[in-house]
């Protein structure tokens, strides 16, 4: 079955970097755009980044632009989020989600990985 | 651009509740709706063409008009108690963003 499994979360100091991974299975990874969405403690969902199915285009929320980089490795069926210059406000559960078109929606989500930015 | 939702609604067991989402992006793009229960990942319940993923009960339906999208639960059940988020894309020129509403907490 279609599955997304995030990993790489943890506790990190402000200003440091962290890389999240999202291992996918059960579908042809190279056919789908992919998202990262986060949720701060007790808050709502916030879209973070999106990458096209072929990796040719990336889009970011203003809150992370210039600090975060989304990427994908088709040979490993894995999505990544490289996070740098981390701030306390980046503390959240980070979810990866698959994009389905016609119309656009996020039809499959991972279980999330928790990132805590604290000194 | 942003999406707005009522913070909370309550519905009696077996009754009908409508959750609305407003935003300029909805004039050009469809909204999708996600259910989230405590400690769980979001779950797609309705897409912009009122299609339900496999396993989502048919008591969930969606509609839209102008800048407003709606999610209706007809005959709400106890297990429908959750937070519900609307989502749409928005674009201008080369810029593409995806928006989430602030969420509506549904109490049954």
Q: How far is A84 from chain B (nearest CA, A)?
A: 21
Asked if B42's CB is within 8 angstroms of A45's CB, the reply is: yes
- A93-109 pLDDT, tens digit each: 999 999 999 899 999 99
CA distance B8 to A6: 30
* Number of cross-chain residue pairs from A and B with Cβ atoms under 8 Å apart: 66
Q: Provide the pLDDT for residue A81.
A: 98
pLDDT tens track of chain A, all 119 residues? 999 999 999 999 999 999 999 999 999 999 999 999 999 999 999 999 999 999 999 999 999 999 999 999 999 999 999 999 999 999 999 999 999 998 999 999 999 999 999 99
Asked if B41's CB is within 8 angstroms of A109's CB, the reply is: yes
Q: What are phi and psi of A76, to 5 degrees?
A: -110, 0
Cα–Cα–Cα angle for A15, A19, A20, rounded to 5 degrees: 130
- A37 part of contact set with chain B, CB < 8 Å: yes
Q: Provide the pLDDT for residue A102.
A: 85
Closest CA to B100 of A101, A83, A40, A2: A40
Asked if B30's CB is within 8 angstroms of A104's CB, the reply is: yes
- B35-74 pLDDT, tens digit each: 999 999 999 999 989 999 999 999 999 999 999 999 999 9
- A109 part of contact set with chain B, CB < 8 Å: yes
Asked if B41's CB is within 8 angstroms of A95's CB, the reply is: yes
A6-18 exposure pattern, b = at least 16 Cβ within 10 A, e = fewer: bebbeebeeeeeb
């Amino acid at each position: 079955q279609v599955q997304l499994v995030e990993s790489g979360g943890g506790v990190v100091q402000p200003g440091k970097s962290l890389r999240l991974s999202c291992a996918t299975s059960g579908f042809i990874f190279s056919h789908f755009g992919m998202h990262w969405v986060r949720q701060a403690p007790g808050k709502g969902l916030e879209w973070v980044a999106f990458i096209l199915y072929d990796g040719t285009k990336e889009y970011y929320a203003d809150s992370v632009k210039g600090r975060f980089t989304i990427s994908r490795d088709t040979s490993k069926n894995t999505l990544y989020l490289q996070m740098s210059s981390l701030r306390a406000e980046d503390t959240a559960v980070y979810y990866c989600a698959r994009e389905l078109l016609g119309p656009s929606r996020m039809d499959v989500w991972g279980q999330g990985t928790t990132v805590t930015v604290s000194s | 651009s942003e999406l707005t939702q009522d913070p909370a609604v309550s519905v009696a067991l077996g009754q009908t509740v409508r959750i609305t989402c407003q935003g300029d992006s909805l004039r050009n793009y469809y909204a999708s709706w996600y259910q989230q229960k405590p400690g769980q990942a979001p779950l797609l319940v309705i897409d912009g063409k009122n299609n339900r993923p496999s396993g989502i009960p048919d008591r969930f339906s969606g509609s839209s008009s102008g800048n407003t999208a709606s999610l209706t639960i007809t005959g709400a059940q106890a297990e429908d108690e959750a937070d519900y988020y609307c989502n749409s894309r928005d674009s201008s020129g080369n810029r593409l963003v995806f928006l989430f509403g602030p969420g509506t907490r549904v109490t049954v």
